Amino acid sequence: MGKRVALTGNEATALAMRQINPDVVAAYPITPQTDIVQYFSQFVADGQVKTEFVTVESEHSAMSATVGAAAAGARAMTATSSQGLALMWEVVYIAASLRLPIVMPVVNRALSAPINIHCDHSDTMGARDSGWIQLYSENAQEAYDNLIQAVRIAEHQDVRLPVMVCQDGFITSHGLDSIEILEDAEVQRFIGELKPSYPLLDPEHPVTIGALDLQNWYLEHKRQQAEAMKNALRVIPEVAAEYAKLTGREYGYFEKYRLDDAEIGLVALNSSAGTIKAEIDELRNSGVKVGLLKPRVFRPLPAKELREALLHLKVIGVLDRADSFSAFGGPLFTEIRSALYGAQIPVLDFIYGLGGRDFTMTDAGNIVEKLAKVARDGKVEEPITYYGVRE
């Protein structure tokens, strides 16, 4: 086990999809997800997968066909970015509410308008309340590992919810990385056979899926859906523990980097975490006690564990690569603050990197400097700022 190869995030994703070997993939090309679809098409053309590949005419149809395939009893996948996810919106909710175990890589890209093809998290943050599990990935290795684990999480009998596996557009999706991959047979053994619940294609047991659900039942069904999301909090670490046995790579709800003895804490998703880690090492050398919490599981939100991991800090800076336009900070900020409710720790929000604006170690250092000042003075002048913006 453990072959090391050089792959981009998209190549790693396409490879994981080939190894998962789904029964059906329905997908539509969009920058920067496009080469996932291209690589997968080649696997189909070369007979390397058993997949029926449905080259739909839009993302709305991509998600619609994926829902149909999953309801039929197939292991079904799609992949998208940005506007594609936005166009799917209606059916994204339906996939979760019909409790279909679909797995979808999402290559994060800013939403229009203005049109922009580069990374931010406005696309998947917009879908955070759609009922999908969301896993975020710092690099190609995590995108690969998360995708394989996602199949097990989605298909677990107590969960039965779709999973988005997010990685940063271009930064991760097109950056070449050194990653360790599994053998095809190991992936197949790990994910096992899909055991579909109530498939349409059972001739002995016809089913009605997607009935009209009125005042006397809708609330109960939504409650069950919420329970499935709670169950995911239990199942995600179980799957991760098994994956760690196979690969030696550990995955929690989040990664803590030099956090336990830190006074200043940063919270950031995806590729920026790598940049921040490098800056933390520099700052630690000069005696600054700074650490990072990088959420991997954003839906469900492991609120209790987040709180426990952050409670010892003197100040917290949340980096949001999306705005919620609530005039009260970005989506990650409000969730972290909510998890810390009642704690007397100043939490600041830095909305940064929108539309792919570069984020460097210097930027991470500047943010730590601002947080250090808050820790010293105990005063927060403005909790929500747009980092690096030209005002």
Partner 1 sequence: MPTLKEISGRPEILAPGHRMCAGCGAPVVVRQIMKALREDEHVVVGNATGCLEVSTTIYPFTSWRCSWIHNAFENAAATLSGVEAAYRSLKRQGKVKAEFKFIAFGGDGGTYDIGLQSLSGAMERGHKMVYVCYDNGAYMNTGIQRSSATPLGADTTTSPVGKVIPGKTRPRKDLTEIMAAHNIPYVAQVAPSHWNDLVTKVRKALDADGPAFINALAPCPRGWRYDSADTIEMCRLAVETCFWPLYEVVDGKVKVTVKPREKKPVRAFLEAQGRFKHLFEPQNERIIDEIQAIVDAKWANLLARSEQA
DSSP secondary-structure letter at 80? B
CB of 23 to partner 1, least distance (A): 4
Over the window 330 to 369, marking each residue x when it contacts partner 1 by CB under 8 A and - when it does not, the resulting string is ----------------------------------------
Kindly state the number of chain residues that form the binding site for partner 1, as judged by CB under 8 A.
42
Which of 55, 334, 366, 385 touches partner 1 (CB under 8 A)?
Answer: 55
Of the candidates 272, 265, 369, 371, the one whose C-alpha atom is nearest the C-alpha of residue 308 is: 265
Question: Judged by CB, which is closer to partner 1: 59, or 123?
Answer: 59
Angle between helices 184-191 and 218-247 (to 10 degrees): 140
Cα–Cα distance, 305 to 299 (Å, whole number): 13
Which of 203, 287, 342, 378 touches partner 1 (CB under 8 A)?
Answer: 203
CB of 206 to partner 1, least distance (A): 4
Cα–Cα distance, 242 to 248 (Å, whole number): 10
* Neighbour tally for 57: CB within 10 Å: 8
Work out whether 24 is an interface residue with partner 1 (CB under 8 A).
Answer: yes
Question: Judged by CB, which is closer to partner 1: 76, or 107?
Answer: 76
| Residue spans of beta strands (DSSP E) within 243-346 | 254-257, 264-267, 290-295, 297-299, 315-320
Work out whether 73 is an interface residue with partner 1 (CB under 8 A).
Answer: yes
From the list 212-220, 225-233, 330-338, 347-355, the region that binds partner 1 by CB under 8 A is 212-220
Work out whether 27 is an interface residue with partner 1 (CB under 8 A).
Answer: no
From the list 54-62, 148-156, 263-271, 382-390, the region that binds partner 1 by CB under 8 A is 54-62
CB of 52 to partner 1, least distance (A): 4
Which of 8, 10, 33, 61 touches partner 1 (CB under 8 A)?
Answer: 61
Cα–Cα distance, 64 to 48 (Å, whole number): 25
Cα–Cα distance, 389 to 385 (Å, whole number): 9
From the list 1-9, 48-56, 226-234, 343-351, the region that binds partner 1 by CB under 8 A is 48-56
Cα–Cα distance, 36 to 54 (Å, whole number): 14
Work out whether 48 is an interface residue with partner 1 (CB under 8 A).
Answer: no
CB of 284 to partner 1, least distance (A): 51
Work out whether 191 is an interface residue with partner 1 (CB under 8 A).
Answer: no
Work out whether 66 is an interface residue with partner 1 (CB under 8 A).
Answer: yes
* Neighbour tally for 327: CB within 10 Å: 7
Hey, what are 80's tokens? Answer: 């998208």
From the list 87-95, 268-276, 324-332, 333-341, the region that binds partner 1 by CB under 8 A is 87-95
Question: Judged by CB, which is closer to partner 1: 69, or 268?
Answer: 69
Which of 200, 345, 361, 375 touches partner 1 (CB under 8 A)?
Answer: 200
Question: Judged by CB, which is closer to partner 1: 78, or 172?
Answer: 78
Work out whether 202 is an interface residue with partner 1 (CB under 8 A).
Answer: yes
Determine how β-strand 297-299 pairs with β-strand 290-295. Answer: unpaired
Work out whether 57 is an interface residue with partner 1 (CB under 8 A).
Answer: yes
**Which positions ≥6 away from 324 have C-beta within 8 Å?**
125, 330, 331, 334
Work out whether 184 is an interface residue with partner 1 (CB under 8 A).
Answer: no
DSSP secondary-structure letter at 22? -
Work out whether 23 is an interface residue with partner 1 (CB under 8 A).
Answer: yes
Cα–Cα distance, 321 to 313 (Å, whole number): 22
CB of 37 to partner 1, least distance (A): 15
- Judge contact between 103 and 147, C-beta under 8 A: yes
Cα–Cα distance, 386 to 391 (Å, whole number): 9
- Judge contact between 58 and 88, C-beta under 8 A: no
- Exposure on the CB side of residue 386, measured as CA atoms within 13 A: 12
The binding site for partner 1 (CB under 8 A) comprises 23-24, 26, 50-52, 54-58, 60-61, 64-74, 76, 90-91, 94, 200-203, 206-214, 217
